[in-house]
Chains A and B, each alone.
Chain A
């Protein structure tokens, strides 16, 4: 049975040393913290379009994201460390999304769920569409589909768990900030009824 699990989903257990005393295990801090982190991810409910329906249905009993310890969807970024961008990001939402990402607690991850969040999808090149959320925030895992089924979301979450387990706790290099080529321009104050 274990042979059916792909290598990339297997946890990388370091050497565990057992002592004579019961219930004592020594291991590395890296292992214990990344193990705890990867199994207690708090996702941020960032549903923007129909992908959100799949994301929420994966939270309920039929698919049950709680099996991965990720059932605690939070509506505030301050209690979250995973942003599942589920849907089309448009230009009006872009500064809001960026601000919410910055408000999330470190360490934090982003999943781009579905074609829209990944590249704009069917709305690519629309007059009000951002062609992929990776233009705004760094993305860890991309999930294809329109919309992806909950199983696809779970595969993405498992890939993310593997990624989280690679983090080094002791000498962890900080995650780079959002890669934005241009500094955010100051939004000019709107003038009511004026045509630009």
Chain B
């Protein structure tokens, strides 16, 4: 599969409409946010299936994962996937809502291998557990760190500062 950049130039509104039609059951709130970015929300349970179909989509084909972000929205957490389509030279921002009580979501490592370290970082900082991840360890903080510091309710503890 050769990467053919921008061979299928589509209007942003057409991309959004196409996604809304093809993923009518899974994606909600599909809209164009920036000149080159479509934003959509996805149901947590459908994520893995949606990811596979997004990557294999014939006309748009989001083949590249640029980033996975963990976000604390106070009421709930969010796992945000930034994916890129070479064919249309556009981005998709996929928001998946994750409840705080059960902060779990399927990994997309087997769809986009680039997700590996990004999901580890989101686990490290925000505490989203990615089910099926091959090696879900902390990536930035030390292994015995207590808590997830980018949560809004994180309180620094003396345990994390043994030298103070």
| Chain A residues near B (Cβ < 8 Å) | 91-92, 94, 125, 127-128, 130-131, 135-136, 180, 182, 184-185, 187-188, 190, 192-193, 195-196
- Asked whether any CB of chain A lies closer than 8 Å to the CB of B129, the reply is yes
| Further 19 A-B residue pairs, CB within 8 A, beyond A92-B141, A187-B143 | A91-B141, A91-B160, A91-B161, A94-B163, A127-B160, A128-B149, A130-B163, A131-B161, A135-B163, A182-B162, A185-B162, A190-B137, A190-B138, A190-B143, A190-B144, A192-B135, A192-B137, A193-B123, A193-B136
Is B142 part of the contact surface with A, judged by Cβ < 8 Å? yes
B127-164 toward A: CB 8 Å interface, digit per residue (1/0)? 10100010111101111111101000010100011111
Q: Is the CB of B137 within 8 A of A135?
A: no
**Contact A130/B129 with A188-B144, A190-B137, A196-B147 known, Cβ cut-off 8 Å:** no
Among B142, B162, B163, max chain A CB count under 10 A is at: B163
**Contact partners of A188 in chain B: CB under 8 A:** 144
Is B129 within 8 A of A195, CB to CB?
A: yes
* Contact A91 B137, beta carbon cutoff 8 Å: no
Least CB separation from A91: chain B residue: B142
Q: Which residues of A contact B154 (CB under 8 A)?
A: 127
Nearest 3 A/B pairs, CB to CB: A190-B143, A193-B136, A127-B149
Interface residues of B (CB under 8 A from A): 123, 127, 129, 133, 135-138, 140-147, 149, 154, 156, 160-164
Please tell me if the beta carbons of A193 and B161 are within 8 angstroms of each other in the complex: no
Q: Which of B137, B141, B143, B144 contacts A128 (CB 8 A)?
A: B141
CA distance A193 to B122 in the complex (A): 12
**In the complex the two chains form, what is the Cα distance from A136 to B164 in whole Å?**
9
A193 to B143, alpha carbons, bound, how many Å? 11
Can you list 8 pairs linking A and B with CB atoms under 8 Å apart?
A: A91-B145, A127-B160, A130-B161, A131-B164, A185-B162, A190-B137, A193-B123, A193-B129
Q: A128 near B160 (CB under 8 angstroms)? A: yes
For B149, what are the chain A residues with a Cβ–Cβ distance below 8 Å?
127-128
Q: Which residues of A contact B133 (CB under 8 A)?
A: 193
Q: Are A135 and B164 in contact (CB under 8 A)?
A: yes
- CB of A130, distance to nearest CB on chain B (Å): 6
A182 — which chain B residues lie within 8 A by C-beta? Answer: 162
Residues of A within 8 A of B145 (CB): 91, 128
Q: A127-B160, A135-B164 are contacts. A192–B142 as well, Cβ < 8 Å?
A: no
**Residue of A whose beta carbon sits closest to that of B131:** A193
How long is the Cα–Cα vector from A123 to B145 in the complex, in angstroms? 18
Looking at the complex, which one of A128, A136, A193 makes contact with B163 (CB distance below 8 Å)? A136
Collect the chain A residues with CB atoms within 8 Å of residue B163's CB. Answer: 91, 94, 130, 135-136, 180
